[in-house]
């Protein structure tokens, strides 16, 4: 009984497999392979250079300068330029400013208004009467907040959990 043979003979008849192996091993790699390698190297180098040049710039249109993000302390909420910013959830989130006086409550990790409205860090209304906050696309570049006021994002649906202000 013949032992199974793996490799080229498993795919080709024995005589053709011997000839194919010789052709593959003896075939000269032409100049086209060398040119293709140089072309791929140049393409990667140009793409890397473009990335380095573009990644180090402030965002352009439709983003506009709002102000320094440090105007609002970490773990708080407030106005930066004409955007309402929450830094209480660990990240920087920008919203269309809500009506009335609003403050961040560190004990509940929620945004609260004096009239009893309560929002989560993502702007969802979870207590009181009203609407969820309207988020804005935003980015922080070198400590400066840039906000897109022209295309606000959809507000999250209110979820009446009956939350009450925890900071009074």
Grouping H, G, I as helix, E, B as strand and the rest as coil, residue 154 is coil
Kindly report the average pLDDT of the chain as a whole number. 80
In angstroms, the CA 146 to CA 7 distance is: 60
**Mean pLDDT computed over 57-75:** 83
Q: Could you read off the pLDDT of 96-153 as tens digits, one per residue?
A: 888 888 888 888 888 888 888 888 888 888 888 888 888 988 888 888 889 888 888 8
Task: Report how far residue 157's alpha carbon sits from residue 133's, in angstroms, rounded to the nearest whole number.
Answer: 10
Helix (H) or strand (E) holding 42: helix 31-55
Query: What dihedral do alpha carbons 106, 94, 113, 81 form, nearest 10°?
Result: 110
Q: Are 87 and 77 in contact (CB under 8 A)?
A: yes
Q: Which of 150, 151, 95 is nearest to 125 (CA)?
A: 95
Judging by DSSP bridges, how do beta strands 125-127 and 118-119 pair with one another?
A: antiparallel
Q: Which of 161, 162, 89, 100 shows the shortest CA–CA distance to 123?
A: 89
- 66 versus 23: which is more confidently predicted? 66
Whether residue 92 has pLDDT greater than 80: yes
Inform me whether the pLDDT recorded for 37 exceeds 50: yes
Q: What is the pLDDT of residue 38?
A: 93
> Is pLDDT of 25 > 60?
no
Average pLDDT over residues 16-22: 64
**Whether pLDDT at 7 is above 60:** no
The CA distance from 31 to 9, in Å, is 30
- Preceding omega of 15 cis (within 30 degrees of 0): no
Task: Enumerate domains of the chain plus CATH numbers.
Answer: 8-55 (no CATH), 64-148 (2.102.10.10)
pLDDT-derived band at 168 (thresholds 50, 70, 90) equals: low
The pLDDT score that the predictor gives to residue 9 is 46
pLDDT of residue 117: 86
């Amino acid at each position: 009984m013949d032992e199974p043979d793996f490799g080229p003979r498993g795919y080709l008849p024995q005589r053709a497999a011997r000839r194919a192996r010789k052709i593959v091993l003896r075939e000269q790699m032409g100049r086209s392979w060398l040119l293709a390698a140089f072309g791929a190297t140049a393409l990667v180098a140009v793409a890397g250079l473009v990335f380095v040049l573009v990644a180090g710039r402030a965002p352009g249109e439709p983003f506009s300068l709002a102000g320094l993000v440090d105007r609002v302390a970490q773990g708080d909420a407030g106005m930066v330029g004409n955007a309402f910013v929450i830094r209480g959830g660990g990240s920087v989130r920008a919203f269309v400013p809500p009506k009335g006086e609003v403050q961040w409550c560190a004990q509940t990790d929620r945004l609260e208004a004096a009239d009893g409205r309560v929002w989560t860090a993502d702007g969802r209304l979870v207590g009181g009467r009203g609407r969820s906050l309207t988020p804005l696309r935003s980015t922080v570049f070198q400590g400066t907040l840039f906000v897109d006021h022209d295309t606000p994002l959809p507000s999250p649906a209110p979820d009446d959990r009956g939350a009450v202000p925890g900071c009074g």
